[in-house]
Amino acid sequence: VSPLYVWLLKWLRKIYLLLPTNIIQMLFGVALCFFGGTYVASLAAVEAFRQMGWRQSFEDASYVFEQMVLVKDASEKDDKVDADGDGVADVDALTPTDLAQRKVTLAMLTVDEPGKLKKAFGGLWTAYVGVVATLRFEFARTTAI
């Protein structure tokens, strides 16, 4: 994950946690002014997301992000390991297949609670499917009129 995205997500999360709900809704309304005719779809998507459990989705996304940062830090430490002492980092001496296997194993060992991570991904997927279904329904209803 790009450091820019990590910085942006952390910054947006801080803003979300600091601002009152009314201010966040106002900022969303101002942003909608620049969407043109697609703002109705944006409203439908936001309402679907709120109906599908915004609070739970936020907690799930926060947990996934925390675990992602843990895996990233562990991967960076692993990139510097020279276990055989030949002066070359172990990851630089591996084939792409072995490197992928090593990094996946490292990620699986780094995650604190795999069951909770699986549940978090499931919750995010459910919210995503709810938004997509709502948007398809809104689009179908709009074109049928």
* 30 and 43 part of one domain: no
58-69 average pLDDT score? 89
pLDDT for the residue numbered 50: 79
* 73 and 41 part of one domain: yes
C-alpha span between 27 and 44 (Å, rounded) = 17
SS3 content of the chain, % helix, strand, coil (to 5): 85, 0, 15
Does some domain include residue 89?
A: no
C-alpha span between 98 and 106 (Å, rounded) = 12
Domain of residue 1, residue span: 1-34
* 2 and 72 part of one domain: no
* 112 and 66 part of one domain: yes
* 41 and 60 part of one domain: yes
pTM over 0.75: no
Q: Phi/psi of residue 27, each to 5°?
A: -65, -40
C-alpha span between 43 and 40 (Å, rounded) = 5
Percent share of the chain, pLDDT over 70: 92
Instruction: Answer yes or no: is pLDDT of 28 > 60.
Output: yes
List all residues 6 or more positions away from 124 whose beta carbon is below 8 Å from its beta carbon.
57, 60, 61, 64
Residue that wins the pLDDT comparison between 49 and 80: 80
